[in-house]
A and B are shown apart, each in its own frame.
Chain A
Amino acid sequence: QPVLTQPPSVSGAPGQRVTISCTGSSSNIGAGYDVHWYQQLPGTAPKRLIYGNTNRPSGVPDRFSGSKSGTSASLAITGLQAEDEADYYCQSYDNSLSGVMFGGGTKLTVL
C-alpha cells in the first residue's frame, strides 16, 4: 500500500472545480517535507504540475493549484476541461523509509 493515500478516482463536469487529496503521516508530509504533483496523460511520461506544495512551473495554467496542511495536501483544478482528463500523482519524501514516495494515483474523469 502506498504511504501517501489518494482517492482512486474523481470526476467533474466541464467548468466545475475538483480537488484531489493526498493523505500522509508524521514521517512524510507531517514532517515538513514538500509535496509535488504530477499529471500523466495516457501513454505519456508524467509532467510536474505543482512543486513545493503550491508552486506552478511556467506553462502550467493557473487553474491548477496546490495546498498543504498538517499531514495532507490537495490539488485543486478549477474550470475543468476535457484535456484535464488524466491520472494525477502526489509525491513526497518519507524519513522512516528514507526514500521518495508517490501516492497511488487518482484518475480524473471529465464528464
Chain B
Amino acid sequence: QVHLEQSGAEVKKPGASVKVSCKASGYTFTSYDITWVRQALGQGLEWMGWISASKGNTNYAQKLQGRVTLTTDTSTSTAYMELRSLRSDDTAVYYCARGGYMYGYEIWGQGTLVTVSS
C-alpha cells in the first residue's frame, strides 16, 4: 500500500544542519508532490514547503527561506528536507506528506523528531 517512511530521530547542536529523508512506496513517486510540515511540541502544524517530485520545482515558506532546501532522488523514490543554522525553536516533529494545496495531504509519514539542544 501507499506509504511514506521517514528517517529516525536526530539531536543537533545550535548552528548545525539536519537532513531528514522520506522514502515513498506503493505508488509512482513522480506523480505526486511532496510537502513538509513541522509541529513543535504541543503546538500546531506549520507548512514548510513543497517540491514537485517530477520536476523538482519548489516553494518554501517565507519564514524559512534561505535555511531550508527540499530535494528528491527519483531513483530511490526518496524526498529530503535539509534545514540549516538550527535554533532551539526548530525543535519539532517533521512530517513529509503526499499531495498539494489543491487536494490536501492524503498520505503522511510517521514523523521525525528533531531536537536542537546545546
Listed in ascending order, the chain A residues whose CB lies under 8 Å from chain B are 2, 33-34, 36, 38, 40, 45-48, 51-52, 57, 89, 91-93, 97-105
Contacts and interface: CB of A to CB of B under 8 A. Distances in A.
B16 interface: no
Nearest to A52: B103
A50 to B, nearest CB: 8
Contact of B45 (A52, A57, A89): A89
B26 interface: no
Given A45-B111, A46-B45, A105-B44, A98 B106 contact: no
Contact of A48 (B59, B104, B110): B104
Interface in B33-77: 35, 37, 44-47, 49-50, 59-62
Contacts of B47: 91, 99-102
A42 to B, nearest CB: 11
Interface residues of B, number: 25
B104 A2 contact: no
B27 interface: no
Given A45-B110, A103-B44, A105-B44, A91 B61 contact: no
Contacts of A98: 59, 62
B103 A51 contact: yes
Q: Interface majority SS on A: helix, strand, loop or mixed?
A: strand
A103 B44 CA distance: 8
12 contacts: A33-B101, A36-B104, A38-B105, A45-B110, A48-B106, A51-B103, A52-B103, A57-B106, A91-B101, A99-B47, A99-B49, A102-B44
A36 B44 contact: no
A92 B45 CA distance: 12
Given A2-B44, A102-B45, A102-B46, A93 B101 contact: yes
A109 B101 CA distance: 28
Contacts of B35: 100
